[in-house]
Structure 1
Amino acid sequence: MFTPTKDLEVAHGIFRTQLAGLYFIASTKQSDDRGYYSELVRLPELDAIRNTPFVVAQVNIARSLENVARGIHAENWNKLVTVTNGTAFCAFADIRPESQTFGQVETVLLGQSTEALHGSFFIEKGIGNSLCVTAGPVDYIYYVDALYKDRDTTYDRAVSLFDPDLAINWPLSKEEMIISDRDKDAVTVQELFPEKYV
């Protein structure tokens, strides 16, 4: 499980992970008897470490109920994600065949519980992401740099949550998970890129 340690910090509150192009942006809460305030991300600071601007074109929200699992999905857009309600076990998989971290996985508990990380993840295009709700419902907000209706879907991928090469240690069994038909039928990374496993 990912832990944002000082040696991984590339800018104030921004941490690299073991996957190239995947960053965690920590947030802190200022709470009082009315609720709380939390600064999620400062885009100029994220842009500075990436050397390229992340220009938000669309903001989406997905609500997932207890035991729902989604993914592993990779799209041809950059994405900034956060959990604003509930807690999810998130798994990120590098399925970009040209990447130096191809085939590697990063996992994290993200959300509002005391044991979860509070913050956001920047996910570079082509990295697969998924979640499994451990305390629901989960509200998963994601900012993307392309309009859904206009985006290039050429490199969209759906990879099996249970890919043996990725070997993700999910907090729920397959039988406990609520999974869409698309995700049930998803292929393995090896089926997508057999040449990488020769």
Structure 2
Amino acid sequence: MQQILYQPAEELLYEQDIFRTAINGLFYVKHTTNRDERGFFSELARMPEIEKVIGHPFPVKQINQSRSSTGVVRGIHSEDWNKYATVTNGKCFCALVDLRPESPTFGKKEYFMLGFDREALDGSLFIPARIGNSICVMEGPMDYLYFVDKLYQNRDEKDDQVISLFDPDLQIPWPIPKERMIISNRDKNAITLRSRFPEKF
């Protein structure tokens, strides 16, 4: 598993603490964290630097938080909003997929382990609109905090997509077996990428 997980290597550094990935427009942002005997202080984002890298404003309209237990798997979901996401408690495996048919990196995947132990990255993800996102909780409760640039109530639901967690073309290497996963009915019944975009295959 370790060899497939994203690592913020020096050659991927785009700006201070902001790293490119294999998916166009998806960035990993390393946190600046100071620890002492009292606990820690962590700087999650500097928005002027994020906006410089992505090339457009990122006006935060809504801040959401989800809590998931160990074994919960959510995804693969995409919406027509830009998202800045971080894990604030626990640990999760994140699989991201480019679901934009016009993108030069369509179908590309990146895998991250985010959280608070030596195996996990202490950082956030800037996830562009229509990138598929999924999480598998390794250590719960896992708190997932994300900032978006559209109000949920104002979004266009036709832009919401759900792609199967077990898509045979994607072959995501989930770190826990399927029979131990806690999955919603919506995600269990999701279609494959090939069914959604047959023209790309």
Say yes or no: TM over 0.5. yes
Q: How does 1:25-104 map to 2 (within 5 A)?
A: 25-104=29-108
CA contact (8 A) 1:81 1:140 kept: yes
Structure 2: how far apart are the matches of 1:191 and 1:173? 24
Length-normalised TM-score, structure 2: 0.96
Partner of residue 178 from structure 2, selected from 158, 166, 174: 174
Match of 2:16 in 1: 12
- % identical equivalent positions: 52
Q: Which has the higher helix share?
A: 2
For residue 114 of structure 1, report the CA deviation from its aligned partner: 1.8
Within a 5 Å distance, the mapping from 1:120-135 to structure 2 comes to 120-135=124-139
Partners of 2:157 and 2:23 in 1: CA distance:
22
Q: CA RMSD in A?
A: 0.7
The structural deviation recorded for 1:33 is 1.7
- Runs (4+) off by over 3 Å: none
Provide the residue aligned with 1:158 in structure 2.
162
Q: Deviations over 1:81-107 (max 9, x none)?
A: 000000000000001111100011100
| CA offset digits 1:110-168 (Å, max 9, x no partner) | 01122100010000000000000001110000000000111122221000011111111
| Equivalences, count | 197
Q: What secondary structure sits across from 2:190 in the alignment?
A: coil
Could you tell me how far apart the structure 1 residues matched to 2:103 and 2:87 are? 27
2:157 match: secondary structure: coil
Instruction: Please state how far the C-alpha of 1:57 moved relative to its aligned partner.
Output: 0.2
- The one-letter code of the counterpart of 1:70 is R
State the secondary structure of the residue aligned to 2:144: strand
CA–CA distance in 2 between the matches of 1:23 and 1:4?
10
Distance in 2 (alpha carbons) for counterparts of 1:95 and 1:86: 27
Provide the rounded CA distance (Å) in 1 between the counterparts of 2:160 and 2:117: 32
Q: Is contact 1:47–1:53 with CA below 8 Å preserved after alignment?
A: yes
Q: Given that residues 76 and 154 in structure 1 are in contact (C-alpha distance below 8 angstroms), is that contact kept between their aligned partners in structure 2?
A: no
Q: In structure 1, what is the Cα distance between the partners aligned to 2:180 and 2:48? A: 41
**How far apart in 1 are the matches of 2:53 and 2:27?**
10
Identify unmatched segments of 5+ residues in structure 2. none
In structure 1, the gaps of 5 or more residues are none
User: Which residue of structure 1 lines up, in the alignment, with residue 199 of structure 2?
Assistant: 195
Provide the secondary structure at the position in 2 that maps to 1:135. strand
